[in-house]
Amino acid sequence: MSNLKPSEIVEELDKYIVGQHNAKRSVAIALRNRWRRQQVPEDLRDEIAPKNIILIGPTGVGKTEIARRLANLTDSPLIKVEASKFTEVGYVGRDVESMVRDLIELTVNNLKVREQESVQVKARENAEERMLDLLLPPSEPTTALTSTPAVDRPFDPAPESTPDGSATREKLRKLLRSGKMDQRTVDLEVSDKSVPMVEVFSNMGMEEMGINFKDMLGGLMPKSTKRRKIKVPEAMDLLAQEEAQGLVDMDRVVKLAVEKVEQDGIIFLDEIDKIAGKHGGTGPDVSREGVQRDLLPLVEGSTVTTKYGPVRTDHILFIAAGAFHTIKPADLIPELQGRFPIRVELSSLGKAEFYRILTEPKNALLLQYLALLRTEGLEVVFTDGTIREISRIAEEVNNSTENIGARRLHTLMEKLLEDILFDAPDMETEQMEIDVAYVNRKLKDIMENEDLSRYIL
């Protein structure tokens, strides 16, 4: 973060998202302010609240993509939730605090995976030693009662080996590393993870109590294991995974995760307009206003109880998004409006933007399809006129049916390339050009029949 200026954040977002410069500027400033807050004197640091953002615009213009790319860019914990799935506590729906619990759970799991990857070399070494113990059990004093028949032993050491078997062990290690033991099977004790899941509904929320109850069962009941006969490579992977888990300090991981969520967490609240209603309404409007009032403590800053301990939400950045077709941000309750001081309107996409989306970003849709078809040995070429025609059709379909933004391009491209994607493995030609005539031939009939285009495009 210390190396990223707002202009550099916008520059990085430009690689994946076309247009929407104002929205990119706003999120870049909000992100840079986080770094600035860390630099101010400690007595003032806790007083600086994050400047939450409302992104206003129709579907498919890049609202979610901006938040997702932003989180990837800064390695911030991010969770996307649909505001519409929450209802007033007491009615059917999830408790709003569950979004914070989901965020901390996600962050703990991500950090745990990273820690396991960092100790992979040591874990592999330990797994190798355990595998050698399985293949070559420690020799015991030979007596009439303890002698093991040669046929039952996993590996019979050579007679000329040293008494402690170290020479045989090293010989076996070389065979293991060279892959010559890959076809051999070993008996391995693996943990049985089929613990029954019991969910209990309480004021904490059904999801959290379900997890806690499962953990309690896991602690009370003895760990069940089962013996499996598996090949050496798979056994090595299982042993390495088990060793990596043992090498990770989970207390440290949880502490880091809580700190990361509290200081760098981002919660993306989609469909915020679906919980806005006229003040003093009845029926569904009452429930919608209830959701807003439940969200208010989280956005203002409160402490949420999780299985990993208390998590404070004071400095979590909330990015809300909605189409706001029939209502406006002013229809949110005043207290919640005040907690989202930054409002940014994202513009609708036209044929010029569609053309850029197809060609400019690093993950441009056209590049994705070309790469997929190259795997079949087929090189497909799109002329500039073809791309402009596809962009024009996308705009026209959006205007005549429902405006779903850039997602319309996915539908058009699938329909346009349907035959090629199906026949590509059997095609003898190595190169194919898609021209304007081909586009019109494939899409003209659907375009002219408006009722059909509603179902197909």
In the chain, pLDDT over 90 holds for what percent of residues? 13
* 429-443 per-position pLDDT tens digit: 888 889 899 998 888
Domain co-membership, 127 together with 199: yes
* Of 236, 246, 233, the residue nearest 127 (C-alpha): 236
Give DSSP secondary structure letters for 387-420: HHHHHHHHHHHHHHS---TTHHHHHHHHHHTHHH
Q: Is 252 inside any structural domain? A: no
| Helix (H), strand (E), coil (C) string for 60-80 | CCCHHHHHHHHHHHHCCCEEE
Structure tokens at 414: 């699938």
Domain count, the chain: 3
Q: Is 456 inside any structural domain? A: no
Domain co-membership, 229 together with 277: no
Average pLDDT over residues 96-109: 90
CATH, residue 358? 1.10.8.60
Q: Is 373 inside any structural domain? A: yes
Q: How many residues does the chain have?
A: 457
Domain co-membership, 226 together with 167: yes
Domain closes at, from 316, 345, 374: 345
CA distance 154 to 148: 11
Q: 105: pLDDT confidence band, cut at 50, 70 and 90?
A: very high
Q: Is 327 inside any structural domain? A: yes
Helix H or strand E encompassing 92? none
Question: Is residue 121 exposed (0-12), middle (13-18) or buried (19+ Cβ within 10 Å)?
Answer: exposed
Handedness of CA 386, 392, 395, 396 (dihedral sign): negative
pTM score: 0.76
Domain closes at, from 303, 319, 345: 345
Domain co-membership, 201 together with 303: no
Domain co-membership, 84 together with 124: no
Domain co-membership, 341 together with 261: yes
Structure tokens at 272: 């915020």
Q: Is 87 inside any structural domain? A: yes
Domain closes at, from 287, 319, 345: 345
* 245-260 per-position pLDDT tens digit: 888 888 899 999 999 9
Q: Is 358 inside any structural domain? A: yes
Q: Is 457 inside any structural domain? A: no
Helix H or strand E encompassing 372? helix 365-374
Average pLDDT over residues 57-63: 86
Average pLDDT over residues 27-49: 85
Domain co-membership, 293 together with 410: no
Residue 199 burial (CB count, 10 A): 12
Domain co-membership, 304 together with 269: yes
Q: 242: pLDDT confidence band, cut at 50, 70 and 90?
A: confident
* 122-139 per-position pLDDT tens digit: 888 888 788 777 777 665
Mean pLDDT estimate for the chain: 79
* 400-451 per-position pLDDT tens digit: 888 888 888 998 999 899 999 999 888 888 888 898 999 988 888 777 777 7
Is residue 295 pLDDT above 90, yes or no? no
Task: Report the first-to-last Cα separation within the chain, whole angstroms.
Answer: 42
Domain co-membership, 202 together with 288: no
Average pLDDT over residues 101-121: 89
Is residue 10 pLDDT above 60, yes or no? yes
Domain co-membership, 301 together with 211: no
Handedness of CA 22, 28, 34, 36 (dihedral sign): negative
Domain co-membership, 177 together with 85: no
In the chain, pLDDT over 70 holds for what percent of residues? 81
Structural domain of residue 37, as residue ranges? 6-113+257-345
Domain co-membership, 128 together with 241: yes
CATH, residue 326? 3.40.50.300
* 73-82 per-position pLDDT tens digit: 888 888 888 8
Q: Is 1 inside any structural domain? A: no
Q: 236: pLDDT confidence band, cut at 50, 70 and 90?
A: confident
